[in-house]
């Protein structure tokens, strides 16, 4: 069960965020409204939400998931692979928020790079995707830290997706949404795989919180498959964040 969530309000510079989506620039007022609806959905799941102030110097800073991994034993501050995001991980208000909840805070060090959008938690085990943003050195450091606290991790080779969780979402109870290159990945054979077609692949980025699953708006096939598994579904529009390669999981730290 998750008790706490950390989010950051989108900044007015959000239109300058990194993107490969070719869907135009996000509209700030719409992004703010969508973010408010996202926070509202989070509160319905019973968590306490810590809301950090916008950071105009960092257009992608609303995507807080990438800058820290929050586990049951420790928080691990990452070192983002995207140069424009590297200083986000050390922002004082984020460190202060983590310190409020964690006695043990660890840090990924140069030359390692990790963005936690590449990390999927399954119980006490963590799958770490090797992507353009997360390198092998960063993944090794992450696994060493996890093992120090009695947790475990393994690397997953990737070729196509931006982040591991671009095409995967673990919904607890052994249920795993899979899209694209991960459908055949041997690492995920033991799961009950719910396969998502590429045209709805963005919809595979859902988040499980306390028996609810938050699903992006506009992906009815994904929504139906999740409802058929018996979960309570909350639907949130994240279309403005999609324009800068962001999805539901990117927008929060959940622990």
Q: How confident is the model at residue 23 (pLDDT cuts 50, 70, 90)?
A: confident
What pLDDT digit, counting tens, does each position of 182-229 carry? Answer: 999 999 999 999 999 988 999 999 999 999 999 999 999 999 999 999
Report how far residue 45's alpha carbon sits from residue 59's, in angstroms, rounded to the nearest whole number.
28
Task: Please determine, for residue 162, whether its predicted confidence score (pLDDT) is greater than 90.
Answer: no
* Domain extent for 57: 4-254
Query: How many CA atoms are closer than 13 Å to the CA of 3, on its beta-carbon side?
Result: 3
By DSSP bridging, strand 105-107 and strand 75-77 are parallel
Q: Is residue 231 over pLDDT 80?
A: yes
pTM (two decimals): 0.97
Residues near 125 by beta carbon (within 8 Å), at least 6 away in sequence: 151, 152, 153, 154
Tens of pLDDT, residue by residue over 89-142, are: 999 999 999 999 999 999 999 999 999 999 999 999 999 999 999 999 999 999
What's the number of domains the chain is made of?
Answer: 1
163 tagged catalytic: yes
Task: From the candidates 62, 74, 206, 250, give the one annotated as an active-site residue.
Answer: 250
Mean pLDDT of the chain: 96
Strands 119-122 and 125-130: antiparallel
Given the residues 35, 70, 74, 163, the one annotated as active site: 163
- Across the range 59-68, mean pLDDT stands at 97
User: What's the pLDDT at 248?
Assistant: 96
pLDDT digits (tens, 9 = 90+) for 44-56: 999 999 999 999 9
Angle at 246 between CA 196 and CA 53, to 5 degrees: 145
Mean pLDDT of 10-17: 92
- Alpha-carbon distance of 134 to 80, in angstroms, equals 8
pLDDT at 3 over 90: yes
Closest listed residue to residue 79, CA positions, set 126, 162, 138, 127: 138
pLDDT at 15: 86
What kind and span of H or E run contains 146?
helix 136-148
- We report the CATH number of the domain holding residue 185 as 3.75.10.10
Asked if 102 contacts 75 with a C-beta cutoff of 8 angstroms, the reply is yes
The predicted structure's pLDDT at residue 19: 75
């Amino acid at each position: 069960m998750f008790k706490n969530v950390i989010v950051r309000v989108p900044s007015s510079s959000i239109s300058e965020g990194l993107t490969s989506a070719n869907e135009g620039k996000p509209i700030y007022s719409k992004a703010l409204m969508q973010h408010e609806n996202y926070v509202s959905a989070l509160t319905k799941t019973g968590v306490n939400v810590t809301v950090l102030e916008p950071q105009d110097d960092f257009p992608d800073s609303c995507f807080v998931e990438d800058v820290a991994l929050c586990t049951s034993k420790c928080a691990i501050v990452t070192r983002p692979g995207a140069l424009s995001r590297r200083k986000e991980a050390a922002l004082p208000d984020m460190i202060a928020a983590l310190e409020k909840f964690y006695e043990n805070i660890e840090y990924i060090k140069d030359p390692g790079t990790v963005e936690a959008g590449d990390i999927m938690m399954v119980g006490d085990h963590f799958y770490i995707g090797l992507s353009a943003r997360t390198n092998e050195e960063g993944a090794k450091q992450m696994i060493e830290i996890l093992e120090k606290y009695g947790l475990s991790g393994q690397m997953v080779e990737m070729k196509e997706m931006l982040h591991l969780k671009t095409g995967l979402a673990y919904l607890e109870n052994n249920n795993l949404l899979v899209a694209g290159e991960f459908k055949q990945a041997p690492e995920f054979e033991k799961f009950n795989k719910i396969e998502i077609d590429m045209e709805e692949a963005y919809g595979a980025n859902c988040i499980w919180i306390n028996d609810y699953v938050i699903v992006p708006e506009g992906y009815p096939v994904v929504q139906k498959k999740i409802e058929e598994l018996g979960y309570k579904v909350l639907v949130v529009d994240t279309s403005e964040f999609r324009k800068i390669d962001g999805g539901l999981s990117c927008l929060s730290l959940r622990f």
